[in-house]
Amino acid sequence: MLPTHGRYPYAPWPGRARYAWPGGAKLAVYLGVNLEHFAFGEGLGAELAPGGPPPDVLNYAWRDYGNRVGGWRLIELLDQLRLPATVLLNSAMYDYAPALVAAHRARGDEIAGHGRTNSERQSTFDEAAERRLIAESTAAILAREGIAPRGWLSPWIAESRVTPELLVEAGYRYTLNWCADDQPIWLATKAGPLLAIPYPQEV
């Protein structure tokens, strides 16, 4: 038999129980806004176009456009539509673009942990280093927001075999890493249950 993750059982879509959302709603939606910062000329970086050798100015600048311009336009749209958002925050943004983080804070948006920077992939760390990454990101958010984050999205949606345990140990209630369903799934961990909320990437 093939190895399995052991986090949740298979559950086919037909015949599932209906969720009872507040107010009798039939659908629950969240808007996740990624606030990410990348090292210039080193580490990981999303290639939105065929890039060149470091420093890949084209792709770095396109990503930075979001922090300088695009993020502000998105806030205007969210305000116009009176929609709340969940900010998926690289803690490096507190130093790099504090005004953008403050604008979301002023809106009352939830702040979720998203690592220190998207220039690193936590699945490549040993357990002690991964625990430090989660602790440092969490502490930065707690220090500036006055409340610890409840949700987590790993940089690059990359996790090790013990990430769910480390998140529960650090006080997290949900993760966005497991996009295996259209409904939330309870993940089994050695430290207790962790809710996996879908993180759709096709929109």
Instruction: Report which of 39, 5, 28 is spatially closest to residue 155, judged by C-alpha positions.
Output: 39
Question: Is the residue at 44 inside a domain?
Answer: no
CATH number assigned to the domain comprising residue 104: 3.20.20.370
Query: What is the tens place of the pLDDT at every residue in 113-138?
Result: 999 999 999 999 999 999 999 999 99
pLDDT in the model for residue 203 = 61
Check residues 148 and 48 and name the one with the higher pLDDT.
Answer: 148
Residue 157 lies in a domain: yes
In a domain, 8, yes or no: no
Residue 10 in domain: no
Phi, then psi, of 78 in degrees rounded to 5:
-60, -40
Q: Which domain holds residue 34?
A: 28-38+50-196
Does the predicted model carry a pTM greater than 0.85? yes
Q: Do residues 47 and 41 touch, judged by C-beta distance below 8 A?
A: no
Mean pLDDT (whole number) for 44-64: 79
- With a pLDDT cut of 70, the percent of the chain lying above it is 98
pLDDT tens digits along 58-98: 888 988 999 999 999 999 999 999 999 999 999 999 999 99
Asked whether residue 122 is assigned to any structural domain, the reply reads: yes
| Sheet-wide strand order for 32-35 | 32-35, 86-89, 110-113, 151-152, 174-175, 194-196, 185-187
The per-residue pLDDT for 188 is 98
56 inside domain: yes
Total number of domains in the chain: 1
> What is the pLDDT averaged over residues 143-152?
98
pLDDT tens digit sequence for 104-117: 999 999 999 999 99
Q: Indicate the pLDDT class of residue 55, thresholds 50, 70 and 90.
A: confident
Q: Are 45 and 53 in contact (CB under 8 A)?
A: no
Mean predicted confidence (pLDDT) in 143-155: 98
Q: At what angle do helices 71-81 and 98-107 cross, to 10 degrees?
A: 10
Does the residue 181 lie in any domain? Answer: yes
CB 164 within 8 A of CB 185: no
- pLDDT of 50 strictly over 80: no
Residue 202 confidence (pLDDT) above 90: no
Q: Is residue 134 included in any domain, yes or no?
A: yes
Tell me which residue has tokens 């295996």: 180
